[in-house]
Amino acid sequence: MPKTSQSLNDFARPLGFGALAGARVLLIFVLSALGLSFVMWLVAVAKMLPISTIPDWATRGALAAFGFPFEQADFVLSLPPSLLSLVVAWQMYRAGKKLRADDRVSSDDLLKTQLLRLTGLSLSVLIVIVVALVISGAPVTGLGIYRSIILLFLAPAWGIRIGAEHLARWCDDRMSFAWGDAVEDSLKLVSRLLIALVVAAHVVLAVAVWGSFSSAAEVVSAYSAPVIAAVGLGIVQLMFAPTVWAGALTWVTGFPLRLGGDIHASAMSGFEGPLPAIPSFALIPHTSFPEGIALVAVPLVAVALVIAFSESATLHNAVVAGVQAFIVLALASLFFFGGIGPGGLQTTGVIPWMFVIASAIWVAGGVGIGLGMKKLRDFYVSSSTPQKKD
């Protein structure tokens, strides 16, 4: 084979593999968006909306998941439906993970192959997003571009683990083999840490529901059709579930949440002003509740237990996994705030830089406590083991 043809083949093949992976992601996401829009259309069937509303909602909802504002008549949504954003990130991550170059690629060509596969994957999805933006006329904002970069490039790059081998070799050469191994072996531990924080958020929300169930029930009963309202509000709140998780953990850490305009709510201070008739908002105490900060132990303990009871959680693995988990949370903070309007919720959600600080507290504190628990357990096990006499 001529050298030029061989070079072209080496370029086109990984690019094509990436594009095919992007097509699979798009197929899953488009079908999901259409299905969800159909369900919402059925919920609003009393308004006799035309069936053409379904693909229109699907397009705008998909763009909202990528972080672009959703506009419908006088209604503007710049708070991303973070569950859909999470689904996109997960699909892009999985696609990247499947594209990870195998061992048959030489180490010299590994980074090049990974970059080409990432380019094919990301560009195939980006082209469709750009077409959707043009057709829908949705506004393009700087924040939307940042969010899209995270979903389109950083999520699959993390799955492909671009540069991980080079970083591991650098750690082997400059630090120790333990750090190099941690770069390659800590991925599962990162997932466990993030899942532990999601579980912790559900525990906090369960406590909040137990304490404010009557307030949430009153909100639903105020609608003319409480059952239909409960279903509709349940679907809407589900679409923003990660934002609710982030808000719950931020609140128990003592940092404020923005509830529209100048209204801020935290465990240390109450707030005044009307809120939308949504059950999640009814769970937030109107008066100061400093005792709620005790619940910050929940995410700390959740992370600590993962470290303490994971055999792979050595000091090096735990530190590297903790850093990666913190980076994921810091990037995710861009999806946890925005506006819901018209009305008083032009700015709602977490305050990003405060969420980043709170994330550092959960991860660093939990990892430190977990390593201490592991060390203490190993000490007692070794001291209780009878020593053999010669």
Q: Dump the DSSP string for 79-121.
A: S--HHHHHHHHHHHHHHHHHT---TTS-HHHHHHHHHHHHHHH
Element (H, E) at 220: helix 187-221
Angle at the Cα of 359 from the Cα atoms of 358 and 365, rounded to 5 degrees: 90
In this structure, are 96 and 214 located in the same domain? Answer: no
Q: What is the pLDDT of residue 127?
A: 93
**What is the C-alpha separation between 353 and 275, in angstroms, rounded?**
24
In a domain, 173, yes or no: no
Q: Which of 104, 129, 162 is the last residue of a domain?
A: 162
Do the beta carbons of residue 67 and residue 85 sit within 8 Å? yes
In this structure, are 294 and 362 located in the same domain? Answer: yes
Identity (one letter) of the amino acid at 158? W
In this structure, are 7 and 146 located in the same domain? Answer: yes
Q: Tokens in use for 345?
A: 């919720």
CA 374, distance to chain mean position in Å, is 28
Number of domain units in the chain? 2
Q: What is the pLDDT of residue 331?
A: 96
In this structure, are 137 and 37 located in the same domain? Answer: yes
In a domain, 232, yes or no: yes
In a domain, 167, yes or no: no
In this structure, are 13 and 89 located in the same domain? Answer: yes
In this structure, are 220 and 124 located in the same domain? Answer: no
Q: What is the pLDDT of residue 156?
A: 92
* Residue 78 CB partners (closer than 8 Å, separation 6+): 69, 70, 141, 143, 338, 339, 340
In this structure, are 264 and 378 located in the same domain? Answer: yes
In a domain, 59, yes or no: yes
**What is the C-alpha separation between 353 and 347, in angstroms, rounded?**
15
Q: What is the pLDDT of residue 111?
A: 74
In this structure, are 200 and 327 located in the same domain? Answer: yes
In a domain, 169, yes or no: no
Q: Which domain holds residue 315?
A: 187-384
Q: What share of the chain is helix, strand, coil (3-state, %, to 5)?
A: 70, 5, 20
In a domain, 338, yes or no: yes
Give me the tens of pLDDT residue by residue for the chain, a chain 390 residues long: 455 555 566 677 788 888 888 888 888 888 888 888 887 777 666 567 788 778 888 888 888 889 898 776 667 778 888 999 999 999 999 998 888 765 455 556 777 788 888 889 999 999 999 998 888 888 888 999 999 999 999 999 988 877 666 566 666 656 665 666 666 667 788 899 999 999 999 999 998 888 777 777 777 777 767 777 777 778 888 889 999 999 999 988 888 888 876 778 877 777 776 777 777 887 887 777 777 778 889 999 999 999 998 887 788 888 888 999 999 999 999 999 988 776 556 778 899 999 999 999 999 999 999 999 888 877 776 666 665 554
Q: What is the pLDDT of residue 365?
A: 94
In this structure, are 191 and 135 located in the same domain? Answer: no
In this structure, are 153 and 289 located in the same domain? Answer: no
Q: What is the pLDDT of residue 377?
A: 77
Do the beta carbons of residue 119 and residue 15 sit within 8 Å? yes
In this structure, are 16 and 108 located in the same domain? Answer: yes
In a domain, 179, yes or no: no
Cα dihedral 65, 71, 74, 78 in deg (nearest 10): 40
Residues in the chain: 390
In this structure, are 119 and 228 located in the same domain? Answer: no
In a domain, 182, yes or no: no
